[in-house]
Structure 1
Amino acid sequence: MRNLLVIVWVVTVAWTAIAAAEELRSDSASLHDPSVPPVVAGFDRFARHGDIDAVDGGRLLLGELSCTACHASGDTAAGKNTAEAIEPKRGPRLHSAGIRYSQAWLADFIASPHQVKPGTTMPDLLGNRSPQQRREISTAIAAFLVETERADYPEIKATGANPVMFEFWKRGDADRGSEIFHTRGCVACHSSDADYVVTGAITSPVDALLEELDPEELADMGLAAAARRVESIPLGDLAAKYSRKSLAHFLHDPAHTRPALRMPDFKLSSNESADLAEYLLTAYSSNRNSVGKQASADQPSIEHANDPALVQQGREWFIELNCAACHDSSIKTDLPNAMPLLAVDAESANGCLGDSPQRRVQYPLDSVQRDAIVKAIANAKSGQTVSATQQLDGILLAANCFGCHQRDELGGIGRYRKPYFETAGHIDLGDEGRLPPPLTGVGAKLISTHLTNVVSGKTPAIRPYMQIQMPRFSQEVAHALPKLFAEVDDANTADATRVFGDTIDLADAGRELMDIGCVQCHTFGGNALPGVTGVDLSKIHSRIRPAWFETFLLNPGNVKERTRMPTFFVDGKSPRPDLLDGDPKRQIAAMWAYLNALPKHSLPSKIETSRAENYELSPTDRPSILRTFMPGAGTHAIAVGFPEQVHFAFDAEQVRLATMWRGRFLDAQGTWFVRSAPPAEPLGNEVVELPEGSSFAKLNQANEPWPSSTEVRFGGYRIDADGSPEFLYRYAGVEFTDHIEPLAAQDRSETHHKPGLRRTITLTSGESHANATAAPLWFRVHQGDRLTRIDDHTMRHESGQNGAGQNSAGLTISIPPSLARDAHIYQSDEITEWRVPVREFPFKIEVNYSW
C-alpha cells in the first residue's frame, strides 16, 4: 500500500508541475508585443469573463489606468456620495529615478511603453508623433530624470534580529531567491520559472473533477471560473531596467517608490531582498544567459554626458505632457484643470477611447476594456450611486486581494497555481492550512482594529505553518477595508459581556472543554500537543468578534464552507452535559473566558500530560475520534474507534467510507507528535479497504462507468449524544447526513456473526427532481471483481429478492429489500458494481457491513 501511495504521489507531483508550468507561462513570451492590452488583474480575471458587472470592471480600469488622474470623477458639489470618486492608481514616484533606472531603458520605455513592456498600464503619450520625434522627446525626458531625480535610497536600519550586511545587494543568491519567489506568494500574481521543481500537493477532488469535464459541463455546473486559467501580471525585462542595488531596495520597500502598493510589501529582510533580486534579474531578462549590462552594475550611472540643454528640454516636455498628473517628482507644477469624467465623449475618435492615430493619449485597449469603460462613464452620467459592496469590491479588485483570497465564490488561488502553496515541512492541514483564508464574512468575524493591523502588516502571523506570507498594503487600504467589511457583512459588534453575560469563574470549565477536540488542532500561547501546528487560540479576544465566535462554535459548517472544524454541539446539545448544566452557550462562554485567561491560566490537561508513555487509543465508554493520515483513507482521514472493537476511517477529501477493521484501534503518537511520521496503520486485524471515489454520482444511464471523481463537498461533521460523528456533505443540490455505528448483535448476518458496521445515510433536497432531463442520482452499494448474492433471511424479501452481496475479499454488504428490488448490477471486464437509484426525497439508505 505504501508503494502505491508513493507512485500516486509521484504521478500527482509530475502532473501538477506540468499543469502549473502551462498556466504560469513565462513573461518572455510576450516581450516586445505592443498589441497586448493593458493588464489589470481584477479586470482580466473577472470582468473579461462576465464574473463581475461590466460597470464595476470599467470603474476598476478608470482607476488602474489612472484615467482619473486627468479626468475628475465624483461630484461632491452636486451632493453625491463622495465614494463615487475613483482614486487613480498613479505611477511610481520619480524622486530617485536617476539612480534606480537605466537611462537607456527610460528612453525606450517613454518612447514606446507598450512595446518595451507589453501589458503595462502606462499610457503612450507620444503615439501621435513621428518615430524621430518620439525618440527625441523620450531621450530628453530620460536625461532630465537621470540628471535631476537622484534622491538617495532610504536607510535600512539594522536590528539584532535583522542585521544589514555591507552592500547586501551584492550578496544575493539566485537559488534562495527562486525559493522565496515560488513559496512566499509571488506566483499568485506572476509567472513561475518553468525550471522550478514543484513539490506539489495532492489534487483535491474538485480540481480532479475539473480535468474530466468539458467547457459546456463546467459552465452548467458553475465551475467555469474555477477551471479558467489565471493570467500572470507581466514583469518585463527587469535586467534592462534595474541594477542589483535598485531592485533589492525596491523589493525591500516597494511603497517608497510605489505608494499605491499594487506590488505589496512582503516584509523581506535585506538579505531576502538581495536573493530575490538576484533571481529576478536572471529569470526576467531578455537574455537568460546573462543578467545584462545594467543589472551587473551596483548602481545605475549616467551612461553618457547629458547636455544641459537636453536636460532642460526634457524638463519642459515633462511639464507639457502633464507627467506630474501621475508621477511625483522634485519639480512642482500647477496641474491644468481636469476635464470632468462625465464630459468625456466615448464616441470621439480623437479622445482617449477613440481609434484615431492622432489621439494624444493612447492605450492598446481591446473591445472588452473599451466597452466596460464606456458603460462605467454612462452609469456615472445616469446618477447611479456606488454601494458599500461596490466600494469594497473595488478596493479588493484594485489591490488584487482576489489573487489569493476567495470571497463569495469570487477569486482565490488559481487552479494551476495551488501546487506552489504548501505548509512548512509539508504538514497536512488541508487547504485551510496551505491556502490563504477566505474573506467571506470576514467583517463579521474579525475586529476592525485587528483587520487594520493585519492589512498594514503590524501583527505577527497566527499561521506560521503557512509558507505564503500576508503582505503589507497601503495605509489607505488598511483603514478603508475594515469599515467596509463590517458594513457589508453586517457585523455584530456587541462586546463579550453583551454576548456571553457574566463569565466570572467559567475559565476552569472552559479549560476542560478544550480537551474535547480543540487541543488536537490548535496551539495555546505557543504550547500544543507535539506535532500540532494549528492556529493559536490565545489572545483570541483581540482578533475575533464574540458574536461570531459563538455562532461558529455552534455550527462551524454553516459559517465556513469546507471547514475541518467539527460540530461539537449537535442539535444544540453539548457532549459534556455534566458541565454548566450542558448549556452550549454557557459552555462557549466558558471557552471564551478560558482563552482570554491565557497565558496565566493552566494549559489544557491533555497538553500537560501529552508526554505520557502510551499513546494507543483504546475506546472504552465512548467512541474515539482521530484526524490523521492513513494509507487507505488518505491525508484527510477521520478515524473513529468504538468500544465494540469495530472501527472505520472516513476519507474527508474524497468524501467516502474508506477503511474498516476490528480489534485494536490506532496509535496516536505519530499524529500527535510526529507529523512527518509514516501513515497511521490500524492496530487491529481483518482490515477491509473500500473502493476509491464517491459513493454517489449522477448517471445518465445505469450502465455507464462510475466517474472517478464528483463534486461532492464535505461540510464537516457533528458529534451526536453518544459521541459518534455524523458526516455532512453536499452534492448536486442534495444534503447528506452520514452516520456510522457498530452493527447490533441481532442485526448481524447469519454467515458473518462478528461485529460489523451499520451505515445510515439521509438525503434531503431543496430542488425538484421531477425534471426528466436531469441525470438520476445513484448510490454505489458494493464493488468487486465479482459479487456473489448471499442467502441471508434477515434481509430477504417475501418475493425472494435478495438484499445482500459479497465480494471476493469476503466483505458482505446488506441493504433492505425495499432498496434491493430497485438495484442494478453493472458489469465490466474488470469490476462488478451493485447500484441503487435515488427515486425521491427525502431518502434514507441503510447499509450493513460485515466481514
Structure 2
Amino acid sequence: MNTERSMLRRICIALTFFLPSLLSAQHPVVPGYERFYSQDEDPSVEAGLLLLGELNCVSCHQPGESLQSAVSVKTAPVLSDVGSRIRSGFIKSFLQDPHGAKPGTTMPDVLAELDAEAKQKVVEELTHFLASTGAVNDSAISPGDVNKGRTHFNTFGCLACHNPQEGDRQAIGASVAFPELSKKYTLSSLSQFLQNPHQTRPAGRMPSLNLNDNEAKEIASFLLRDLKLPDNLKFKYYEGNWSKLPDFSMLEPKLEGATSGFGVILGNRTDNFGIVFSGTLVIPKTGEYTIHLGSDDGSRLLIDGKQIVIVDGIHPHQFKNAKANLTAGEHELVIEYFDGSAHNTLEALIEGQGLGKQSLTGLLYTPKPKDPVESNDLVAVDAGKAAVGAKHFTSLGCADCHQLKQDDQLLASAKQYQGLENLIGKQGCLTKAVGSPHYALSPKQQADIRKAIAYLEEVEYQPEMPEKIHRTFVTMNCYTCHQRGELGGVVDARKDFFITTQKEMGDEARIPPPLGDTGVKLQQSWLKDVLGNGTKVRPYMLTRMPKFGNEQVAHLPELFEQVDELKPVDHAQDVFSEKKLKVSGRRLVGSKGYSCVKCHVFGNQKASGVQALSMTTMTKRLKYDWFHQYVINPVAMRPLTRMPTAWPNGQVLLPQVLDGTVDQQVYSIWKYLEDGDKASIPQGVGGNQIELYVFDEAVMYRNFIQGAGPRAIGVGYPERANVAFDANQMGLALLWHGSFIDAGKHWTGRGQGFQPPLGDNVLTLGQSPTLASLESREATWPAGELKKQGYQFLGYQLGEKRKPTFFYKLNDVLITDFPNPESEGGEFPALDRTINLKSDQEQLDLFLRPLVASQQVELGDDGVIAVDGEWKFKVAGDVGEPFVRGKELLVPVELRNVDGQFVGEVKLRYEW
C-alpha cells in the first residue's frame, strides 16, 4: 500500500513528535499510531486499519468475510467482577467523562448525546450495576514497598510504554498515560491486575511481565503511593530490648496515635521496639475462619481478649495460623508485636466463609469521610438502580465491547449496527453525530479511518506477510523496544530507562535485541514460548521480555520463518564420531580453548568475566546456520556487538583440534551445546579449582575419584591420556583425555566427596576386577569383597617418566598391569595396556574382562572389536578367542609353561 521510501519518510517525521503537549491531547492514544502515523500529512490506509482495530470498531460494525483479515480486534476489558477491582467512584467519573478521567483512553463517551441531567442519571444507574459485581478491599501502602516498587517500575520495562512518574522528566510521546490510579484501584486489585493483566484485558496490549506476588504488590504500592486511607487502628509504641513478647500492660508507651494498616515503623527506632495495635474487626458472616499471623520477630493476635495465634521469640519472618469461630458483626482486635534486630515485618491475614486469604485490614472498621464527595466509593449499592443499570448495559451497547456475566450468563447487546463496509461516507462515531459514541478523534485520525473504510470498499484486502508482521509490531507496540529492519527501536527519550548489571557489555546488555533476522535466527519452538510466555535468558538485562498471550502473537513465528532470509552454510562432514565432536566442543569453549566461559555463563555456573547469555540454552534457542555465521563473524551479523570472533579472518588458532578447520570446530561446539544443562561443565567454570598439571612425567593422584572408588589411583600422562585404577577392584575403571584432575575438592575444606575427571571423553570400563577364574563361560563375574575371593592389591612401581606398573594377585597368579598411552596419538591418543601373568601352577580357567559396554559389543572379522558404536578395542597375546556375554567382553587367557612356570602376556589397546 505504501512504498518503503514513503514509509521511512513517515517514520523520520514521526520520530520528531515526542513532545509533552501530545500527552495532554484528548484524542485516543494508540502508541503505534502516535509513533508511526500521527504526523503524516496525508491520510493513510495503514493508519486507518490500525485505528479500526485498536478502537474496537469491529465489535459493533462487523466486517464482511472478505474483510475479517484486514482489521485486528482489540477486545475491551472484561467487566464480570469490575466492582471488586475498580473503585465505584472512579467508575462513575469515567462513565461521566472518559477522556477527562483517563486522557488518551480508547473508550468512547457512549452517553455524549444525553443532556447533563439525563446523563448523570444513567451514569448513576450504570455505576450501581457495575459496583454490584463485587466490593473493593482496601489496605494501606507500605513505604518500604513503595521504594522497592519504584525500582521495579523504573527497571523492569514499564517505562517502555508509560511515562516516568517522578522527577522533572517531561512526558514522552506515544506513551500510555495513567489515570489517577489511587482513585481507580486498591492495592490488592492493582497488584492482581499487574500480575495477570490478560485475565481482565485479554487483548494483550497490556502484557504480563511475569511478576511474582511481591513484585506486583511493590509496583502497585509505588503507583498508589499518594493513596490516603483513613485511620483504622490505634497504636501504642514502646522501646525495649526483649527476646520474647513482654507484658505491654506493665510498660509505659513512648508514643500513642492512630494509623492505617499494620506498618510497624511508627516511632524513632527500627530495632528494639514494640507496638500494640487495637481496632474493630467487622466479620461479614458467622462461621469458622483461619487467622494467619506472620512476623519478624515476635507477635500475637487476640480477638475479644482471647489469644488466637502467637508467633513469639526472635526469628526470621514466619507464619502460624489457628482456627476461630466468629459471629457476624464487630469484634475487638489486638495485635502485639516486638522487634529485636534486623528486619521488622508484621502481617495478619484471614480466610474462610467465602473469603479468600486476604489482609485483616480489609475487615477493619474504617470511619467514612465527613464529606462524601471526597470518597472514591459509593456508600452502598442500590439494588433498584443496579437493575436499571443492567438494562442500560445491554440497550446502550456496552455489551458489544465488554464481557460481563450475570448468573453465569454473558449479557448480550440489544443494539444493531451497520457492517464495516457500509460506513463509507457516513459520519457516526467519526464525529459528534447524534446517537453515536464520542471518541474525541483528532482530524488526522478521522481522515485515516475514512481512508481505510473507502479502501476496503474498493479493494479486496490481502496483506503480504511482511505487512502482517509490521502490523502486529505496531499493534502490540513491539517497536518500542525492538528494531526490525529500519523501523522501531528504543527512542532516545527512553534509553536511560533500559539498565543492565553488565555495563562492560555496552548497549547490547541493556537494549533489547533487533529482530530483523528472527526467522533465521531463532527456533520456532523457542520463539513461540518467548512470545506466549515471556522469558528471562538475559538476566543482566533488567528490562523483561513480556508475555503477550498466544492469541495475539502466535502467527509471528511462522511468518518470520517465511519472510527472513539467510545464506545457508555448508555443514561440516561427519568425519568424527559424535562423542569426539562433543569432547572437542567442550575443550574449545573452555579456558584452554577459545575461552567462551570467560564471558558466558554455563547454566547456573558463573563466568569469570561478564555474565553473558548462558551457553546451555543456545542450541535450544538458535538455528545452526545463524549460529555458525555469527560465531565466525559476529560484527557482520550484529554491527555493534562486543562479541569477538575465535577465528579472525578465517584463521584457526587451535589447529590441533579435530581436523583444524573452522567448520568442524564450530560444528563440534554446537554438538557439545546440544546437551544443554546435561553437558559436562567446561574447564574454567566453577570456583576453588586446583588443577594438577602434567608436563614431562606422569602425575599420580590417590583419592576418592568418581567412577573409580575410594581407593582410586589416578594417573595423568604427558600424552594427555589419563587412567584411574581401582585398587579395591583390581582393574582399570576409567580412561579419559585432556586435563587430568582437579584437586580442589580434596585439598580445601574437609576434603569430602568424589572428584570426577577434569578432562573429557571419559570412558567407563566398569568397577570390577580385570582377571577372574571362572568355572564356566556362564559363571558370574566376581563382585563384592574381593579379598575373601583370593584377590590382593600389591602396590605399584614407577618406571620411565614415572609411569606406574600396578601389581596385584588372584590366588597364586601374580599380575602386572602397565597402561601406556601412545606417544603420537594427537588429540585422542589410544591407550596400550600390557598385562603379564605368572603362576607356579597350571591355570585352565582364567578369563580377562577388559571392558563392560553401556550398549553393545560387536566382534569384527578383522579382530577389531567395536564398542557402543563409538570406540574400538583390540586384544592380542596369550589368549583364546574373545566372546561376548551380554554387554561384557570376555577373553580366555592361555598361560605357557616356561621352565616350570606358567606365564602369559596379553596386550590390550583402547581407541576412544
Question: 2:422 matched to 1:343?
Answer: yes
Judge conservation of contact 2:139–2:186 (CA < 8 Å) in 1: no
Given the superposition, is the C-alpha separation of residues 490 and 414 from structure 1 closer, same or farther in structure 2, using an over 3 Å criterion? same
What is the CA–CA distance in structure 1 between the aligned matches of 2:405 and 2:679, rounded to whole Å?
57
How far residue 554 of structure 1 moved from its aligned partner, in angstroms, is: 3.1
Partner of residue 510, structure 1: 585
Question: 2:510 matched to 1:434?
Answer: yes
Question: 2:87 matched to 1:102?
Answer: yes
Partner of residue 45, structure 1: 35
Judge conservation of contact 1:24–1:417 (CA < 8 Å) in 2: no
Matched letter for residue 93 of structure 1: V
What is the CA–CA distance in structure 2 between the aligned matches of 1:451 and 1:476, rounded to whole Å?
14
Judge conservation of contact 2:82–2:130 (CA < 8 Å) in 1: yes
Alpha-carbon deviations, 1:17-59, whole Å to 9, x = none?
xxxxx9796xxx999x6x5211101110112245999322222
Partner of residue 674, structure 1: none
Select the residue among 202, 210, 215 that pairs with 1:259: 202
Matched letter for residue 66 of structure 1: N
Given the superposition, is the C-alpha separation of residues 545 and 494 from structure 1 closer, same or farther in structure 2, using an over 3 Å criterion? farther
Matched letter for residue 187 of structure 1: L
Select the residue among 215, 222, 227 that pairs with 1:272: 215
Select the residue among 362, 387, 392 that pairs with 1:312: 387
Select the residue among 188, 200, 216 that pairs with 2:160: 188
Where does 1:57-68 land on structure 2 (aligned, <5 Å)? 57-68=47-58
Judge conservation of contact 1:594–1:601 (CA < 8 Å) in 2: yes
Matched letter for residue 61 of structure 1: L
Question: 2:161 matched to 1:175?
Answer: no
Select the residue among 83, 91, 112 that pairs with 2:69: 83
Matched letter for residue 99 of structure 1: S
**Worse-matched range after superposition: 507-516 or 385-394:** 507-516
Judge conservation of contact 1:181–1:276 (CA < 8 Å) in 2: yes
Question: 2:62 matched to 1:111?
Answer: no
Select the residue among 648, 651, 654 that pairs with 1:576: 654
Question: 2:179 matched to 1:236?
Answer: yes
Structure 2: stretches of 5+ with no match in the other structure: 1-16, 233-259, 262-360, 364-374, 692-912
What is the CA–CA distance in structure 1 between the aligned matches of 2:65 and 2:514, rounded to whole Å?
35
Partner of residue 685, structure 1: none
How far residue 612 of structure 1 moved from its aligned partner, in angstroms, is: 7.7
Partner of residue 273, structure 2: none
Judge conservation of contact 1:24–1:232 (CA < 8 Å) in 2: no
Partner secondary structure for residue 32 of structure 2? helix
How far residue 384 of structure 1 moved from its aligned partner, in angstroms, is: 3.0
Where does 1:793-804 land on structure 2 (aligned, <5 Å)? none
Alignment TM-score, normalising by the size of structure 2 = 0.53
What is the CA–CA distance in structure 2 between the aligned matches of 1:558 and 1:337, rounded to whole Å?
57
Where does 1:6-155 land on structure 2 (aligned, <5 Å)? 36-50=26-40, 54-73=44-63, 75-76=65-66, 83-84=69-70, 86-147=71-132, 149-150=133-134
What is the CA–CA distance in structure 2 between the aligned matches of 1:532 and 1:142, rounded to whole Å?
55
How far residue 600 of structure 1 moved from its aligned partner, in angstroms, is: 4.7
Question: 2:402 matched to 1:324?
Answer: no
Judge conservation of contact 2:85–2:135 (CA < 8 Å) in 1: no
Partner of residue 499, structure 2: 422
Given the superposition, is the C-alpha separation of residues 239 and 560 from structure 1 closer, same or farther in structure 2, using an over 3 Å criterion? same
Matched letter for residue 63 of structure 1: G
Select the residue among 640, 644, 655 that pairs with 1:566: 644
Where does 1:344-423 land on structure 2 (aligned, <5 Å)? 344-345=423-424, 347-349=425-427, 351-354=428-431, 356-381=432-457, 382-423=459-500
What is the CA–CA distance in structure 1 between the aligned matches of 2:463 and 2:167, rounded to whole Å?
46
Given the superposition, is the C-alpha separation of residues 472 and 600 from structure 1 closer, same or farther in structure 2, using an over 3 Å criterion? closer
**Worse-matched range after superposition: 298-307 or 539-548:** 298-307
Partner of residue 542, structure 1: 620
Given the superposition, is the C-alpha separation of residues 172 and 54 from structure 1 closer, same or farther in structure 2, using an over 3 Å criterion? farther
What is the CA–CA distance in structure 2 between the aligned matches of 1:186 and 1:306, rounded to whole Å?
35
Given the superposition, is the C-alpha separation of residues 593 and 391 from structure 1 closer, same or farther in structure 2, using an over 3 Å criterion? same
How far residue 292 of structure 1 moved from its aligned partner, in angstroms, is: 9.1
What is the CA–CA distance in structure 1 between the aligned matches of 2:386 and 2:135, rounded to whole Å?
17
Percent of pairs identical after alignment? 32
Judge conservation of contact 2:524–2:558 (CA < 8 Å) in 1: yes
Alpha-carbon deviations, 1:449-505, whole Å to 9, x = none?
11111122265x221112111222112134222222222224799999999997452
Matched letter for residue 181 of structure 2: L
Judge conservation of contact 1:579–1:587 (CA < 8 Å) in 2: yes
Alignment TM-score, normalising by the size of structure 1 = 0.57
Partner secondary structure for residue 311 of structure 1? helix
Given the superposition, is the C-alpha separation of residues 146 and 263 from structure 1 closer, same or farther in structure 2, using an over 3 Å criterion? same
How far residue 146 of structure 1 moved from its aligned partner, in angstroms, is: 1.0
Partner of residue 831, structure 1: none
Where does 1:491-510 land on structure 2 (aligned, <5 Å)? 503-510=578-585
What is the CA–CA distance in structure 1 between the aligned matches of 2:462 and 2:632, rounded to whole Å?
38
Partner of residue 601, structure 2: 523
Judge conservation of contact 1:519–1:607 (CA < 8 Å) in 2: yes
Partner of residue 297, structure 2: none
**Worse-matched range after superposition: 229-238 or 137-146:** 229-238
What is the CA–CA distance in structure 2 between the aligned matches of 1:422 and 1:393, rounded to whole Å?
27
Alpha-carbon deviations, 1:681-706, whole Å to 9, x = none?
xxxxxxxxxxxxxxxxxxxxxxxxxx
Partner secondary structure for residue 417 of structure 1? helix
Matched letter for residue 111 of structure 1: Q
Partner of residue 538, structure 2: 463
Judge conservation of contact 1:229–1:414 (CA < 8 Å) in 2: no
How many aligned residue pairs are there? 530
Judge conservation of contact 1:456–1:478 (CA < 8 Å) in 2: yes
Matched letter for residue 136 of structure 1: K
Judge conservation of contact 2:43–2:451 (CA < 8 Å) in 1: no
Given the superposition, is the C-alpha separation of residues 488 and 594 from structure 1 closer, same or farther in structure 2, using an over 3 Å criterion? same
Matched letter for residue 167 of structure 2: D
**Worse-matched range after superposition: 567-576 or 474-483:** 567-576
Partner of residue 487, structure 1: 562
Partner of residue 731, structure 1: none
Alpha-carbon deviations, 1:546-591, whole Å to 9, x = none?
1221222232222223122234444444333333333222221111
What is the CA–CA distance in structure 1 between the aligned matches of 2:575 and 2:121, rounded to whole Å?
72
Judge conservation of contact 1:453–1:478 (CA < 8 Å) in 2: no
Partner secondary structure for residue 463 of structure 2? coil
Judge conservation of contact 2:498–2:511 (CA < 8 Å) in 1: yes
Partner secondary structure for residue 267 of structure 1? coil
How far residue 518 of structure 1 moved from its aligned partner, in angstroms, is: 2.1
How far residue 432 of structure 1 moved from its aligned partner, in angstroms, is: 0.7
Given the superposition, is the C-alpha separation of residues 608 and 253 from structure 1 closer, same or farther in structure 2, using an over 3 Å criterion? closer
What is the CA–CA distance in structure 2 between the aligned matches of 1:126 and 1:39, rounded to whole Å?
20
What is the CA–CA distance in structure 2 between the aligned matches of 1:144 and 1:525, rounded to whole Å?
53
Matched letter for residue 174 of structure 1: V
What is the CA–CA distance in structure 1 between the aligned matches of 2:551 and 2:411, rounded to whole Å?
25
How far residue 362 of structure 1 moved from its aligned partner, in angstroms, is: 1.3
Judge conservation of contact 2:18–2:174 (CA < 8 Å) in 1: yes
Given the superposition, is the C-alpha separation of residues 234 and 167 from structure 1 closer, same or farther in structure 2, using an over 3 Å criterion? closer
How far residue 417 of structure 1 moved from its aligned partner, in angstroms, is: 1.7
Judge conservation of contact 1:141–1:314 (CA < 8 Å) in 2: yes
What is the CA–CA distance in structure 1 between the aligned matches of 2:47 and 2:573, rounded to whole Å?
41
What is the CA–CA distance in structure 2 between the aligned matches of 1:508 and 1:554, rounded to whole Å?
20
Judge conservation of contact 2:43–2:447 (CA < 8 Å) in 1: no
Judge conservation of contact 2:28–2:104 (CA < 8 Å) in 1: yes
Question: 2:666 matched to 1:591?
Answer: no
Partner of residue 728, structure 1: none
Partner secondary structure for residue 616 of structure 2? coil
Given the superposition, is the C-alpha separation of residues 598 and 116 from structure 1 closer, same or farther in structure 2, using an over 3 Å criterion? closer
Matched letter for residue 153 of structure 2: F
The alignment's C-alpha RMSD in Å is 3.8
What is the CA–CA distance in structure 2 between the aligned matches of 1:91 and 1:499, rounded to whole Å?
56
Judge conservation of contact 2:197–2:206 (CA < 8 Å) in 1: yes
Judge conservation of contact 1:240–1:292 (CA < 8 Å) in 2: no
What is the CA–CA distance in structure 1 between the aligned matches of 2:45 and 2:402, rounded to whole Å?
27
